[in-house]
Chain A
């Protein structure tokens, strides 16, 4: 008992020192969820979560985790404290990526093999609509102003603009081949889209739905075919955006005003998805083949730590 109290005190003390947030990482090949204390640089524990977990998101109140367990054909609702499963959502087959809307009451799931997006009403645990999109939909995201859901189909090479009021596609934008991930800026004015095959980032204007800028990545000493942009995030002030470059093992830092690439940060192997710390002072990356996550200090713009988490880290979510 004494020991526990001591432990508790110690944790609280550490927490005071540097806001102890928790990082959750899905481990695709371990069928597990890694729970990481990033500030201490430690893997706290690994819990079994289901078959082939990939996409992950945390509810706006930070109480619930949603985890796509692809081979179970469901999205599990997990209590973010106890890490126990408290429900399942009808995601359709083989869910991989999904988007949670800002209100936290709708999930939009890409059903890659069926060329559709499933809209789920979370409170009723019901699929309310299936929207036909292009071939192999993958990346999907909801705009902060709640007006749009953007879905990218990898083989059709399009971004589909879904109106959240009608759950219907209102426009399609042709983009570079194999679009992978997308993210809105905090002001919902721009949509950033990565193309795995062209090695590019495209900035789309939400009003016109047109590409206003294409950024080509070019890393010295890395062949073009290794530059496969995947995850993309943009900070709240739209100062900088970050793109994970897959097997190039780099995260590109992009000036979000000029769209210049400022630098490439070397992280783990096959860097895939990205998440900010709640204060946006750090960025976490999942590194698929080096089995770790990298921690980037965004003020110093340097990689400060890598933390081993398990086999094939895929998605990442952060709880304050």
Chain B
């Protein structure tokens, strides 16, 4: 081969590089973009109830980040690019303003990690009409019923689903007589309502019901209050509604009669738990822990599922169009893998994600609801929560 002079060589190389760059550029251009916003507000650390569990300020967002990575791993084979843009409103900020001014039209999908009060404030904004919101934080039954909105999907199991899961387990154990103990917050009363509904649905009996009005001081509560408080007529199981965990932890082992504790403490109903390792769950537990440096919490799991649901719908429809994805997600074809055995899907009547509910003790997974034997003509998953005939949600797609 004849030697080529240096300048020609350099020119050739430059041309080659330009050529390669332009090819890359074209490839990047050709990628279909699916833009997802993540909206949350900073939280004030609550007064510590215990030194055991540190306050976690970033619940949710790390799940969304893991899911974006998973979506993009898939996207490299399908020519889709998923983008997650985080909008974290400061403590003294205004969520509605941020939504209106910053979460623009380029973000049709919004993962919303905000308290129940905010969901419809956002959903009813004109700017939200052409968007699909994924509520990854609330467990509110009303938001899935009379207050439901057609542009909102709810990822976490609501209170009714949790109460039904607990009730199914108690029924299986024949713990038919419940002693219901209710905390002071509004949320505690909402969960108590869900428990009453579950008791009725599954033929359980609430033989005693009391509001916790004692102190929240660990030492005093543990020593005397619980024993006195629990001297009631005979019951099989103490069912507690204390969502913030202000006193529920002190009930176990301290009741007057030796009885199990179930509800928000003791045996709890949850979407996700660190003891869960079946159906490939151990893999996502590990992947999450590697990335986040802590265990996956419920909101992380919910945000993961929300972003994965968008990914799954975009991959299967080969589209980023909101109406196509929305239709697909509500169709029978949609099957989201959520590491809980059954494929997950959305209930067409209220936008709630249909899913198994884990029943977990602090260090062991006790059962997964729906419990075997609870049957349903369509899917056993709909034995949990508000089934179509019971739903008071009235939105047309």
Which of B76, B280, B283, B337 meets A157, CB within 8 Å?
Answer: B337
Let me know if A160 and B337 touch, CB within 8 A.
no
On whether the beta carbons of A156 and B77 are closer than 8 Å, the reply is: yes
Q: Digit string of B209-247 for contact with A (CB within 8 Å is 1, else 0)?
A: 000000000000000000000000000000000000000
Q: Does A260 contact B (CB under 8 A)?
A: no
B201 within 8 Å of A (CB atoms):
no
**Docked complex: A164-193 residues within 8 A CB-CB of B:** 169, 172, 174, 176-178
- Assuming A160-B77, A225-B380, is B70 touching A135 (CB within 8 A)? yes
- What chain B residues lie within 8 Å of A198 (beta carbons)? 335, 343
| A155 to chain B: closest residue by CB | B70
Asked, given contacts A177-B343, A197-B343, whether A134 binds B77 with beta carbons under 8 Å apart, the answer is: yes
A30 touches B (CB below 8 Å): no
Contact pick for A197, options B73, B78, B342, CB 8 Å: B342
Q: Is B316 an interface residue (CB 8 A)?
A: yes
Assess the B283–A136 pair: CB atoms within 8 A. yes
Known A112-B283, A136-B280; contact A156-B342, beta-carbon cutoff 8 A: no
B77 x A113 contact (CB < 8 A): no
Judged by DSSP, the binding face of B is helix
Does B93 make an interface contact (CB < 8 A)? Answer: no
Task: Give the complex CA separation of A136 and B280 in angstroms.
Answer: 9
Asked if B392 is at the interface of the complex by the 8 Å CB criterion, the answer is no
* Shortest CB distance B237–A (Å): 27
Interface 1/0s, chain A 98-129, versus B by CB < 8 A?
00000000000000110100000000000000
A contact residues around B73 at 8 Å (CB): 115, 132, 134-135, 156
Please pick, from B74, B77, B286, B337, the residue contacting A178 in the complex, using a CB distance under 8 A: B337
Is the interface on chain B under 10, 10 to 19, 20 to 34, or 35 or more residues? 20 to 34
1/0 contact trace for B259-295 toward A, CB 8 Å?
0000000000000000000011001001100100000
Asked if B341 contacts A225 (CB within 8 A), the reply is yes
Give the CA-CA distance A198 to B335 in the complex, in Å. 8
Category for how many chain A residues contact B: 20 to 34
| B77: A residues at CB distance < 8 A | 134, 156, 158, 160, 169, 172
Cβ of B150 under 8 Å from chain A:
no
CB neighbours of A115 from chain B (8 A)? 73
Q: A113-B287, A155-B70, A156-B74 are in contact. Are A225 and B280 (CB under 8 A)?
A: no
Question: Is A208 close to B, CB under 8 A?
Answer: no
A174/B286 contact (C-beta < 8 A), A134-B77, A197-B337, A197-B343 known: no
Query: Nearest Cβ distance between residue A146 and chain B, in whole angstroms?
Result: 24
Give, as a whole number of angstroms, the nearest-CB distance from A277 to chain B: 31
In chain A between 124 and 144, which residues have their CB closer than 8 angstroms to a CB of chain B?
Answer: 132, 134-136
Task: Decide: B316 and A174 in contact? CB cutoff 8 A.
Answer: yes
In the bound complex, how far is the Cα of B326 from the Cα of A298, in angstroms?
48
Q: A28 interface residue, CB < 8 Å from B?
A: no
Q: Is the C-beta of A292 less than 8 angstroms from some C-beta in chain B?
A: no
Q: Which residues between 24 and 63 of chain B lie within 8 Å of chain A, taking CB atoms?
A: none
Known A-B contacts A115-B73, A135-B73; the reply to A178 vs B280 at CB < 8 A is yes
Taking the closest CB of chain A, its distance from the CB of B315, in whole angstroms, is 7
Which residues B335-371 have CB closer than 8 A to chain A?
335-337, 341-343
**Across the interface, do B372 and A177 meet the contact criterion of CB distance under 8 Å?**
no
Cβ–Cβ < 8 Å partners of B380 in chain A: 223, 225
Contacts of A172 in B (CB 8 A): 77-78
Measured between beta carbons, the chain A residues less than 8 angstroms from B312 are 157
Q: Looking across the interface, which residue of chain A has its beta carbon closest to that of B318?
A: A174
B165 CB, nearest partner CB in chain A, Å: 15
Q: Which residue of A lies closest to B375 (CB)?
A: A223
Give the residue name and chain of the B residue nearest to A115 (CB).
B73
* Bound form: Cα–Cα A157–B338 in Å: 13
From 370 to 389 in chain B, residues with beta carbon under 8 angstroms from any chain A beta carbon are 372, 380
Q: Are A113 and B335 in contact (CB under 8 A)?
A: no
Q: Are A225 and B335 in contact (CB under 8 A)?
A: no
By a CB distance below 8 angstroms, the chain A residues around B335 are 176-177, 197-198
Contacts A134-B74, A136-B280 given; does A154 touch B337 at CB 8 Å? yes
CB neighbours (8 Å) of A225 from chain B are: 341-342, 380
Complex interface: chain B residues within 8 A of A135 (CB): 70, 73-74
A176–B279 CA distance with the chains assembled, in angstroms:
16
Q: How far is B290's CA from A158's CA once the two chains are assembled, in angstroms?
A: 24
Whether A132 and B70, one on each chain, are in contact in the complex, defined by CB atoms closer than 8 angstroms, is no
Can you name the residue of chain A whose Cβ is closest to the Cβ of B356?
A225
Question: How far, in Å, is A216 (CB) from chain B's closest CB?
Answer: 13
Q: Which residues of B line the A interface, CB within 8 A?
A: 70, 73-74, 76-78, 279-280, 283, 286-287, 290, 308, 312, 315-316, 335-337, 341-343, 372, 380
A binding-site residues for B, Cβ under 8 Å: 112-113, 115, 132, 134-136, 154-158, 160, 169, 172, 174, 176-178, 196-198, 223-225, 228
Name 9 A/B residue pairs within 8 A (Cβ), A-sorted: A112-B283, A113-B283, A113-B287, A115-B73, A135-B74, A154-B283, A174-B315, A197-B337, A198-B343
Top 8 nearest A-B pairs by Cβ distance? A156-B74, A172-B77, A135-B70, A177-B337, A225-B342, A197-B343, A135-B73, A177-B335
